[in-house]
């Protein structure tokens, strides 16, 4: 009988199961626990081994086999991923729902893979765990389907950090099967022979349970609640009585990779293991009710962003033109459509869009697709990209232009209509995609680097225009294995660069929880850091009235070039303000002179202002300076200067030319000459909003010290 390919996407369950402490203890004994780890075997203060979760959903798992119609004589557990959301209580009722998400064809003699994903909730209302299971069906291959995407897994090139050896007893499967998996292969001599084994084999999940105990012993001793994820591939059968060795490499303080080998033969029994551990996050980041547009999402990074957003509740527009790597050719609807199917198979919502980001009409259409399908846009990831690498001297204008068109103009084309929707609703998250080639340079990519750095400029200004509408704009510089990097990266590096390492950072930038705007992050291979334009402290040369000579510049090259104590500026005004204020700093007090002038209070400064006003300097000037002085003795004052006259009033003016904000103590220090105004400004003690250029008049209009 053939596999039922229509079973993909069909909802399975709910299937419920009651369990109590005896089930928990029986499982623990089945996976080798005993007096040496009594906390899992004794009802007093009983703890649950996290891999017990899989045993509780055995009835549900059997639906995968029945619904997909696999040949039962040839099925083996291929892979298991278990993600724990909350610790497993010692008793209760579990309810599991899920679906078959993929059926892959490995080839006529190689078999088929049936992949199912399920979620299990406890009667206490909590989602306890997600299981992603791969059934390997040895006799069902060759139906003409697609093969599973190739996966690479690299173990560290060093000795394991932990090794734990145990020997399951000859009778182990007889105990383990009482937890639910009563498949004849693990108990019946005749059946085992028919399936091609010399005798009944261990349950793969029993060895998985042994491995889980070894991992906990090494990394979370006595704390099963800290186990977050247990993933692996079952690679070889194991006979009862054969010793096993669990080998563990800790890769950081939350993750380890592991394998379990047959200690007699040295063969891997379980491999490609991932173990995640640590505190359960207090809050899960979700995108329920939000609509995301991801451009270029038919493959590579964009596909993973789209899938991950959908898994966390977002409705996704999967845009992809389906073109070639260099953007040539007619395009195809297949890549975007396939990703939409993947999302739907996981129970998510998505629509495909095949427009070209490089045209204004394409950009409009992409946003229209979102509005037509889901009513709005909350999130936009500008990700579509092509490459046309050439050394500069060989760079044809066409290769220059087409790369700028897709990356930079493409982002403009989609962001413009999306920004309008976001502005209207007062919320938006936009992510631009730059590249290390743009941030730092890369030989042969002048077109690409320019486009990618152009996106940083687009972000820098858009963040300011979006700020009051709660639209955050950030930029990622990814490093990931994709067709764009296939020819550029060395093959061994390429294997370590899953887009899945980039997506968590990008998803955070898309989330409501992300408060930052205008930032750039490098992300890839598990390494993340921030990149930024840093500005050195600089120096003044000359008197600010006459330009310095070229030789003076040369003589002062060191302080001009220094980035020591460099600063980040959020907008042009901040940096230009420093230059404008550079010569405004009062001259340092002459030695031995009593420098500071006594200032009684903030109010006294404003009382003294009319007398300090220089009417001559105010001819033709029409400005309002608003002061907001915080802290003890502070308040709001404004100085309105028009036609050579000056009015000082307490309170807030409705149309100030610029607003100066300062703490009362700093204000008194600045007026008294203790705190130079430039230092006040560069240190952030004095903040100036509005027309910063006009604030320069203050020094001329008032002679307070």
| Residues near ligand NAI (CB under 6 A) | 295-296, 298-302, 319-323, 325, 327, 335, 356-358, 383-386, 406, 410, 433, 435, 478-480, 482-485
If the CB atoms of residues 138 and 407 are measured against ligand NAI, the closer one turns out to be 407
Which pair of structure tokens corresponds to residue 553?
């510049």
If the CB atoms of residues 5 and 488 are measured against ligand NAI, the closer one turns out to be 488
Please state the closest distance from residue 517 (CB atom) to ligand NAI, in A. 20
If the CB atoms of residues 214 and 479 are measured against ligand NAI, the closer one turns out to be 479
Complete DSSP assignment for 335-351: HHHHHHHHHHHTT-EEE
Q: How far is CA 94 from CA 168, 180, 398, in A?
A: 29, 14, 61
Please state the closest distance from residue 152 (CB atom) to ligand NAI, in A. 15
If the CB atoms of residues 200 and 385 are measured against ligand NAI, the closer one turns out to be 385
**How many Cβ atoms are within 10 Å of 14's Cβ, its own excluded?**
14
If the CB atoms of residues 137 and 435 are measured against ligand NAI, the closer one turns out to be 435
Q: What is the DSSP letter of 406?
A: I
Please state the closest distance from residue 352 (CB atom) to ligand NAI, in A. 12
d(CA 76, CA 374): 41
d(CA 505, CA 493): 20
If the CB atoms of residues 128 and 358 are measured against ligand NAI, the closer one turns out to be 358
d(CA 472, CA 465): 10
- Active-site pick, 208, 210, 354, 448: 448
Which pair of structure tokens corresponds to residue 474?
């950030």
| Helix, strand or coil, per DSSP, at residue 334 | helix
Please state the closest distance from residue 300 (CB atom) to ligand NAI, in A. 2
Closest C-alpha to 621, from 695, 526, 549: 695
- To the nearest 10 degrees (0 to 180), the angle between helices 204-219 and 21-30 is 90
Which pair of structure tokens corresponds to residue 12?
């399975």
If the CB atoms of residues 101 and 325 are measured against ligand NAI, the closer one turns out to be 325
Contact by Cβ (8 Å): 467, 517: yes
Please state the closest distance from residue 202 (CB atom) to ligand NAI, in A. 41
Contact by Cβ (8 Å): 270, 235: yes
Which pair of structure tokens corresponds to residue 635?
């308040």
**Phi/psi zone of residue 400: left (φ > 0), alpha (ψ -120 to 50 degrees), beta?**
alpha
Which pair of structure tokens corresponds to residue 166?
């145990």
Complete DSSP assignment for 416-456: HHHHHHHHHHT-EEEEEE--HHHHH--TTBHHHHHHHHHHH
Which pair of structure tokens corresponds to residue 315?
């409705």
Helix H or strand E encompassing 605: helix 602-612
Q: How far apart are the first and last CA of the chain?
A: 96
Helix H or strand E encompassing 302: helix 300-311
d(CA 384, CA 296): 4
If the CB atoms of residues 327 and 466 are measured against ligand NAI, the closer one turns out to be 327
Q: Give the distance from CA 699 to its chain's centroid.
A: 48
Annotation marks residue 64 as catalytic: no
Please state the closest distance from residue 362 (CB atom) to ligand NAI, in A. 7
- When CB distances to ligand NAI are compared, the closest residue is 300
d(CA 480, CA 489): 9
Please state the closest distance from residue 389 (CB atom) to ligand NAI, in A. 12
Helix H or strand E encompassing 27: helix 21-30
Please state the closest distance from residue 52 (CB atom) to ligand NAI, in A. 39
| Helix, strand or coil, per DSSP, at residue 570 | coil
| Helix, strand or coil, per DSSP, at residue 269 | strand
If the CB atoms of residues 334 and 562 are measured against ligand NAI, the closer one turns out to be 334
Catalytic positions, written as ranges = 448
């Amino acid at each position: 009988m053939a596999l039922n390919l229509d079973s993909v996407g069909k909802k399975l369950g709910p299937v419920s199961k009651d369990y109590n402490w005896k089930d928990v203890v029986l499982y623990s004994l089945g996976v080798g626990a005993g007096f040496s780890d009594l906390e899992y075997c004794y009802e007093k203060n009983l703890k649950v081994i996290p891999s017990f979760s899989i045993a509780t959903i055995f009835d549900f798992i059997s639906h995968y086999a029945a619904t997909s119609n696999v040949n039962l004589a040839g099925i083996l557990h291929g892979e298991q991923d278990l993600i724990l959301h909350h610790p497993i209580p010692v008793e209760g009722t579990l309810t599991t729902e899920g679906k078959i998400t993929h059926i892959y064809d490995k080839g006529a003699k190689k078999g088929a893979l049936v992949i199912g994903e399920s979620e299990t909730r406890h009667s206490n209302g909590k989602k306890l765990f997600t299981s992603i299971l791969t059934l390997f069906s040895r006799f069902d291959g060759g139906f003409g389907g697609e093969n599973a995407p190739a996966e690479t897994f690299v173990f560290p090139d060093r000795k394991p950090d932990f090794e734990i050896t145990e020997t399951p007893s000859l009778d182990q499967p007889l105990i383990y099967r009482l937890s639910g998996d009563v498949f004849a292969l693990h108990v019946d001599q005749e059946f085992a022979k028919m399936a091609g084994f010399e005798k009944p084999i261990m349950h793969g999940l029993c060895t998985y349970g042994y491995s889980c105990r070894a991992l906990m012993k090494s990394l979370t001793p006595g704390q099963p609640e800290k186990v977050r994820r247990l993933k692996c591939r079952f690679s070889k059968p194991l006979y009862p009585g054969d010793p096993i060795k669990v080998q563990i490499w800790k890769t950081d303080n939350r993750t380890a990779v592991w394998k379990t080998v047959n200690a007699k033969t040295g063969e891997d029994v379980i491999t490609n293991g991932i173990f995640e551990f640590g505190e359960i996050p207090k809050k899960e980041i979700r995108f329920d009710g939000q609509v995301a547009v991801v451009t270029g999402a038919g493959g590579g990074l964009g596909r993973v962003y789209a899938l991950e957003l959908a898994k966390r509740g977002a409705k996704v527009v999967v845009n992809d033109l389906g073109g070639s790597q260099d953007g040539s050719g007619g395009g195809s609807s297949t890549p975007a459509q396939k990703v939409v199917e993947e999302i739907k198979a996981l129970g998510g919502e998505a629509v495909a869009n095949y427009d070209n980001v490089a045209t204004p009409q394409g950009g409009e259409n992409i946003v229209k697709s979102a509005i037509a399908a889901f009513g709005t846009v909350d999130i936009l990831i500008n990700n579509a990209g092509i490459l046309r690498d050439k050394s500069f001297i060989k760079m044809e204008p066409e290769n220059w232009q087409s790369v700028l068109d897709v990356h930079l103009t493409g982002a403009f084309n989609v962001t413009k209509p999306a920004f309008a929707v976001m502005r209207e609703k007062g919320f938006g998250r936009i992510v631009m995609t730059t590249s290390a080639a743009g941030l730092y340079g890369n030989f042969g990519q002048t077109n690409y680097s320019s486009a990618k750095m152009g996106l940083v400029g687009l972000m820098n200004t858009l963040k300011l225009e979006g700020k009051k509408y709660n639209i955050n704009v950030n930029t990622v510089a990814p490093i990931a294995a994709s067709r764009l990097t296939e020819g550029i990266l060395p093959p061994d590096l390429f294997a370590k660069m899953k887009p899945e390492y980039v997506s968590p950072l990008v998803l955070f930038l898309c989330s409501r929880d992300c408060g930052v705007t205008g930032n750039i992050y490098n992300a890839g291979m598990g390494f993340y850091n921030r990149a930024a334009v840093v500005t050195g402290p600089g120096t003044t040369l000359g008197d600010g009235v006459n330009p310095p000579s070229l030789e003076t510049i040369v003589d002062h090259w060191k302080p001009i070039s220094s980035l020591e104590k460099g600063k980040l500026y959020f907008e042009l005004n901040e940096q230009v303000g420093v230059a404008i204020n550079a010569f405004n700093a009062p001259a340092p007090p002459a030695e031995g002179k009593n420098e500071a002038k006594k200032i009684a209070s903030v109010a006294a400064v404003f009382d003294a202002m009319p007398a300090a006003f220089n009417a001559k300097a105010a001819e033709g000037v029409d400005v309002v300076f608003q002061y907001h002085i915080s802290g003890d003795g502070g308040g709001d004052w404004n100085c309105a200067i028009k036609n050579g006259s000056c009015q000082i009033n307490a309170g807030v003016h409705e149309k100030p030319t610029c607003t100066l904000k300062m703490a009362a103590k700093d204000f008194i220090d600045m007026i008294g000459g203790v705190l130079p105004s430039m230092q006040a400004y560069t240190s952030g003690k004095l903040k100036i909003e509005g027309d910063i250029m006009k604030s320069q008049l203050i020094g001329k209009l008032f002679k307070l010290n």
